[in-house]
Chain A
């Protein structure tokens, strides 16, 4: 069975450029999460969706970050404009909604902003 699929796996971009990260959740899962991982701050929840609706975006660091989920099988995380401090691994994860359901992670998108 396909797991959570993220793209790109690696991206290097120049400061000021727009970055778009993509995620395909596991089929049938109705919750989707975007996390960011850095050495300094660990794994942080940025935003999560339930049935395609953003539920909590309090973890989104700045207005430069935005996330969308136009349908149940696709989500994007966009950074515009990107800055060097945005360099991190961005993980997408999905689960069934109910509390106590395991969330499954993609392999991450490694972003480097130079």
Chain B
């Protein structure tokens, strides 16, 4: 079965510094999703990537999907306290008549002032 591994599991970064979170799949990804979760809240959709080599950006967050479509990275530039939270990658798992998304274990990001 398809599994997603995220690294690192947790990260503490000085405010203003850049950081990268990785998501690796054991199988080819048909769709890769990045979500952010704050404690006590639901998951907020950030970006979706589908094509090999695709890159998307939103404000200071950039996500990339490699050409082989087995690895994605999420990069935050000039981190701010508002970036703190848990980042989860999710992969589209093709089913018989509908797809479902499975998730990695998440990366807990803390921003140190």
Contacts and interface: CB of A to CB of B under 8 A. Distances in A.
Interface of A: 4, 31, 33, 35, 42-43, 45, 48, 50, 55-56, 91, 93, 97-108, 110
B48 interface: yes
B102 interface: yes
A100 B54 CA distance: 14
Given A55-B95, A99-B31, A104-B45, A33 B100 contact: yes
B92 A100 contact: yes
Contacts of B102: 45
Contacts of B101: 33, 45, 103
B94 interface: yes
Interface residues on B, range: 20 to 34
B97 interface: yes
A2 B100 CA distance: 22
B31 A97 contact: no
6 pairs of A and B residues whose beta carbons are closest in the complex: A99-B99, A50-B98, A105-B42, A107-B42, A105-B43, A43-B103
B50 to A, nearest CB: 6
A4 B45 CA distance: 13
Contacts of B41: 107-108
Interface in B14-70: 30-31, 33, 35, 40-45, 48, 50
A48 B102 CA distance: 12
